[in-house]
Amino acid sequence: MIAPIEHRIAVELNVRPAQVKAAIQLLDEGATVPFIARYR
């Protein structure tokens, strides 16, 4: 189940909740924003 904040972010950014969850997972694993922007 997706958390309410993840759902709200998805709605406001007009993306799928799975995309928000994946981005959060990358950040939790230690990926930096520049890394995500460049390689993901």
Collect contacts of 24-31 with beta carbons under 8 A, ≥24 apart: none
Which amino acid belongs to residue 19? Answer: Q
Task: Write down the H helix ranges in the chain.
Answer: 4-13, 17-28, 33-39
Total number of domains in the chain: 1
pTM: 0.78
What's the CA gap between 26 and 21, in Å, rounded? Answer: 9
3: left (phi over 0), alpha (psi -120 to 50) or beta: beta
Which amino acid belongs to residue 10? Answer: A
Q: State which residues form the domain around 27.
A: 4-39
pLDDT of the residue at 39: 82
Give 1-40 pLDDT, tens digit per residue.
Answer: 778 999 999 999 999 999 999 999 999 999 999 999 998 6
